[in-house]
Structure 1
């Protein structure tokens, strides 16, 4: 097993990302957001928001016989730097922890993902751009790529306050360093989402995390369709807590990939 220093560093970056947002001073008194406003911010990929969340996923019917269950715990952090020209730099960190039955009965850490992108902070249609970096922090070969990879990120968001948000992220990464005996990485990730706001901090979301592996000989697409429901609770002191449940069905996948999954998420938001 590889040294834990790499994945510990990745986790540290995730925590840093969620706790180090910077904003230039603005005049006027601070506005205390409502649960409904927090729900809209969490659904907006271009929002100036600071949070940490933990997402549990159970991947069902995986493996060569479609009878294995793989589990993942995703640690996410987000923050922002607000610039004086009515724009912001948003940054995100992500680290997965796995407990799998396929391809091996094992537990460990996956590759860490860091991303940052520039966005305007005004308007109902937001277009931003930046980049992403994948670090080879996986504790075992089957939990990661063994490669350093990087590439561009595009963010889009169309907002109708109080009604819905349509948005998404488009990312492509190529490997540029890492273990010489591992396959090169050329991976496109498409993450569209439509979120409807039901009032009082409740929202319903239809989303996907589609990937296209340009290096694969076959089964290049993996496309889950995910439906979820989430709720922002009344504030606890200076922060909000959100909870959510979701399920996914994979309309395109390799033979050994899970048929469907169940998800639960807890978010802590610092307005």
Structure 2
């Protein structure tokens, strides 16, 4: 538990030391190369605005390394807090004149409290989730990408992962009219092999994102992540084929936050803070949460 607290304090310190916030945990897009800056300077207005809008495109020619901390409150009858630190680099590669391959890998580090107890829990690595998007190098008004999503059973404890190797399709699409970004990223994975003692996996993840870009790299944004475990019952009725209580299938959050693209020294970063409530969630799961993120940005030359 001390490790979890120290990690949360470190991320919060990085966030506060920047004295600002930022957007999306959904990765990035091409932008002009940032101008040099001193440790005390912020990017020029036009430069910051262009880079801010660039970071809201998940299929783009911009390397980013987001470090995202998710604190999920109100778990179980003792109102415990689950903590998930996601390290999720996004790396684009041009594979031909017309196509890009974007690799997005999410590696969680998890503190999972024992929900039925008022102390104790498991801390370690969760399941790794790589996704690969094939995307046009010269997109039109609708920017899109598609490819495979995977889940590797890398968890160091049975309570930190699903124990299954899973595969499925993933699609992302967005538009960026004026100051706005509207889009979604969705995947559905199915288990193909793993421990016979663990439940099979059939799970959808849908993130929609809406961002309004302000001046000097600031923005207001919302990017809740909706999940559906299709093996859980929708209502708990006998017709569902199981006795899962109502709300066991869906997690549907709402909320948002603010963000800013700026520099720490000469390094462009995207820093954000978001708060979400769960309008629907499985019994005993978190009712609300906080997401803090700092992403290191590495714009590629045109």
- Over 3 Å counting, the alpha-carbon distance change for 1:140 and 1:157 in structure 2 is same
Select which of 92, 95, 99 maps to 1:87. 99
- Over 3 Å counting, the alpha-carbon distance change for 1:32 and 1:197 in structure 2 is same
Select which of 255, 266, 270 maps to 1:242. 270
Q: Does 1:267 align with 2:283?
A: no
Alignment of 1:183-222 (within 5 A): 183-217=199-233, 218=244, 219-222=248-251
- Over 3 Å counting, the alpha-carbon distance change for 1:183 and 1:37 in structure 2 is same
Contact 1:45 1:168 in 2 (8 A): no
- Over 3 Å counting, the alpha-carbon distance change for 1:87 and 1:199 in structure 2 is farther
Alignment of 1:1-271 (within 5 A): 31-33=32-34, 34-63=47-76, 65=77, 67-103=79-115, 105-120=121-136, 121-161=138-178, 163-217=179-233, 218=244, 219-234=248-263, 236-237=265-266, 239-271=267-299
Q: What is the rounded CA distance, in whole Å, between the counterparts of 1:189 and 1:75 in structure 2?
A: 18
Contact 1:66 1:256 in 2 (8 A): no
Paired residues, what number? 240
- CA offset at residue 203 of structure 1? 1.2
Runs of 4+ off more than 6 Å = none
Q: What is the rounded CA distance, in whole Å, between the counterparts of 2:200 and 2:254 in structure 1?
A: 27
Q: Which deviates more, 217-226 or 245-254?
A: 217-226
- Over 3 Å counting, the alpha-carbon distance change for 1:31 and 1:262 in structure 2 is closer
Which residue number corresponds to residue 7 of structure 1?
Answer: none
Measured against aligned partners, the alpha-carbon deviations of 1:135-192 in whole angstroms (never above 9, x if no partner) come to 001111111000000010111111124x011111110100001111111000111111
Q: What is the rounded CA distance, in whole Å, between the counterparts of 2:255 and 2:55 in structure 1?
A: 17
TM-score (norm: length of structure 2)? 0.75
- Extract unaligned runs of 5+ from structure 1: 1-22, 24-29
Which residue number corresponds to residue 14 of structure 1?
Answer: none
- CA offset at residue 88 of structure 1? 1.1
- Counting strand residues as a fraction of each chain, which structure ranks higher? 1
The higher relative CO (CA closer than 8 Å, separation ≥ 6) is in: 2
- Over 3 Å counting, the alpha-carbon distance change for 1:66 and 1:125 in structure 2 is farther
How big is the alpha-carbon RMSD for the aligned residues of Structure 1 and Structure 2? 1.8
Q: What is the rounded CA distance, in whole Å, between the counterparts of 1:84 and 1:144 in structure 2?
A: 36
- Extract unaligned runs of 5+ from structure 2: 1-29, 35-46, 234-243
